[in-house]
Amino acid sequence: MATTEQLMAQYGVAWFGFDEASGNVYDKLGLNNYVGTVTGATRVDGWNGEGSSMSFNGSSNWISFNNKVLPIGAKSIRFKIKTNRQATSSIFGTSHITATTHGDSVSIRDSGALGWLSNRASTRLLRLSLESTINVCDNQWHDILLTWDGTTNVGAVKMYIDDMATPNVVGTANVVETVSHTNNLTIGRMSAGTNYYYFNGQLDDLQIYNKALSPSDFEQKRLTIKSESNKNLVPSSSSTRVKEIPNTEENTLLSQGGLIHEIDSAVDRLPIDLTRISTEYEIVSNNKSSLNNGKMFTIPINNKFKTAFIEDND
C-alpha cells in the first residue's frame, strides 16, 4: 500500500503520532513548526501496540497548538480514537459552539455518535454537519477518516469508521470555506468558550491532509526493490529491454492484456520514481490488472536495471 509517508509528501499538512517521550507534541513532518503544549494529558500505549497515544481524563487535560493547523477548504483528517464515555465532548477542533467562530469541531455526541461540524460565524449556521450512525463509545479503537473536497456538491463530505470500503455517512456542505479558522487547534476540549466539553479517552495517529483523499489512496500497492546484487535479470531478444521474471508468468501476463512482459530500458525513458503513489504495474499495463503477490519484474531506475518484487498486491 502507499505509505503514510508517501501521502504526506504529496498532500500532508501535519502528522501527530504522540510518540515523544514526554512534554510537547511535535508535527512529524516538521515543515511548519507545529507544536502542541500539553496540559495534564498523558501518554499511554499506542493504538496498534506500538508507540504512544495521548490519553485525556475528561476534566482537565488538553493540548493547545501554536497554529490553526487544519486547512481551509479541501481536507482529509484521519485518526484513531478509543473512549467509553458517552457524553458530549470535543476531541479536537478550531472553534466553539458560538455564533462568532469559524472552524471545525470533531466531537462525541450524547448519543455516543461521532460528530463533525464546521461553523460559520455570525449567522449560527453550519457549513457542514455529520453524525455517525454508530456508537463509537465502546472502549475499542476505531479508525476514523473524515473528508471534504471543499465544494458544495452532493456527497462532498464523508465520514468513514473502521470500514473503509463504504462511508458510514455522506453529507453535503452548505457553503464553501473561505475564512480562516478563529482559534488555533486544540485537542481534548473546545478551543474557546465557557464550557470546554473535555474529552475522556485516547487519541492517536492524527493525520491532516489538504486534499479529500479516498480510502483507496491509503491502499495503493507498493513495490519492494530487491538489491542490485540479486537482480537476476533475464534479457529478452532486444538488448535494450528486459523481461518479466520469472518467465513462467509471461503467458499469464499476456492473457491479462498487460505489457509488463517487456519494459523499456532507461535509455529511452525517464528513470522510474517509486516514491509516487502510482505503482509501476499501473504505468506499464494497459488494463491495470493486478499482478498478484510474489511476482517480480525488472525496471530501470537511475540508468540501471533492478528487480521489483510485488509484496502485497491482491
The arithmetic mean of pLDDT across residues 101-126, rounded, is: 87
Q: Is the pTM of this model over 0.85?
A: no
In this prediction, residue 170 carries a pLDDT of 98
Model confidence at 279: pLDDT above 50: no
Q: Are 150 and 73 in contact (CB under 8 A)?
A: yes
In this prediction, residue 146 carries a pLDDT of 98
In this prediction, residue 232 carries a pLDDT of 32
Per-residue pLDDT tens over the stretch 52-89: 999 999 999 999 999 999 999 999 999 999 999 999 99
Average pLDDT, the chain: 75
Percent of the chain, pLDDT > 70?
66
Model confidence at 186: pLDDT above 70: yes
Mean pLDDT check: name the lowest of 188-192, 210-214, 307-311. Answer: 307-311
